[in-house]
Chain A
């Protein structure tokens, strides 16, 4: 894990370093698309998990029984779409920047759980979610600045 051909402080590989290849979609747009796919997948996984919650678990604590629901398989399909976007992103964007931007799912998933899953989210829990999000932005800040300077 010692070699890294990107600029670790936030740089993307130049087009020359990529052999002149340019992505079809902007990498940052792909991060947002991946985030929406992850949100949809998480909601589908939750639906699948609830549908199989009373099934006997073959390996105890490991949630293998979730595979018995079609919702889970739909979630897997959407997750694979997200994964393909993500692999393209990883080729161009430093991991800590990409991962931090993906944290927009910290807001999207609870919103989706509340909107589609009728889950109750207390004000205190919302405060916690947004403090986590603020922390993530603080962590991502220096890397973002380094990216802008390049």
Chain B
């Protein structure tokens, strides 16, 4: 795996996780009464813009590599999501979560070098 492909995979995953965090926050706001539409709209729009960045980066990767080769990099998503939840939502990381993230990293390394 070349460094540019690795960087593109990382950038696409960062866009995916950031966009999903924003969408989750926006959709959670729709459970409130009254619904704060202005805030929902802002978060939702920003989430969509960032997810669009993920889409085009992903399209560029698909043109260069087999789907089955790059798709396991999506496995970084839950790990980055947990990190994002820890940083932005102040969720607590458990030992089990860290072990899981370690397994994901090993799996990715195997896929990348196979």
A105 to B62 Cα, complex, angstroms: 16
| B103 lies within 8 A of A131 (CB) | yes
A86 to B28 Cα, complex, angstroms: 13
Residues of A within 8 A of B61 (CB): 63
Residues of B within 8 A of A91 (CB): 27-28, 30-31
Residues of A within 8 A of B71 (CB): 42, 105-106, 109-110, 113
With A63-B63, A129-B107, A136-B78 known, 9 other A-B pairs at CB within 8 A are: A4-B25, A6-B28, A63-B61, A64-B59, A66-B62, A91-B27, A95-B24, A113-B66, A128-B107
A138 to B93 Cα, complex, angstroms: 13
With an 8 A cutoff between CB atoms, is B50 at the interface? Answer: no
With an 8 A cutoff between CB atoms, is B67 at the interface? Answer: yes
A110 to B71 Cα, complex, angstroms: 8
With an 8 A cutoff between CB atoms, is A150 at the interface? Answer: no
Q: Which residue of B lies closest to A110 (CB)?
A: B68
From A18, A64, A99, contact of B20 by CB (8 A):
A99
Please give the distance in Å from B41's CB to the nearest CB on chain A. 14
Please give the distance in Å from B91's CB to the nearest CB on chain A. 5
Which A86-114 residues have C-beta < 8 A from chain B?
86-87, 90-91, 95-96, 99-100, 103, 105-106, 109-110, 113-114
| B104 lies within 8 A of A141 (CB) | no
| A45 lies within 8 A of B59 (CB) | yes
| B68 lies within 8 A of A136 (CB) | no
Q: B94-114 interface mask toward A, CB cutoff 8 Å, 1 = contact, 0 = none?
A: 101101111111111111101
Q: Which residue of A lies closest to B98 (CB)?
A: A139
- Given A125-B114, A129-B111, A141-B96 contact (CB < 8 Å): yes
* Between-chain CB contacts (< 8 Å), 6 pairs: A1-B89, A86-B23, A87-B27, A90-B24, A103-B74, A141-B96
Residues of A within 8 A of B85 (CB): 8, 95-96
A117 to B69 Cα, complex, angstroms: 13
| A45 lies within 8 A of B75 (CB) | no
Please give the distance in Å from A24's CB to the nearest CB on chain B. 16
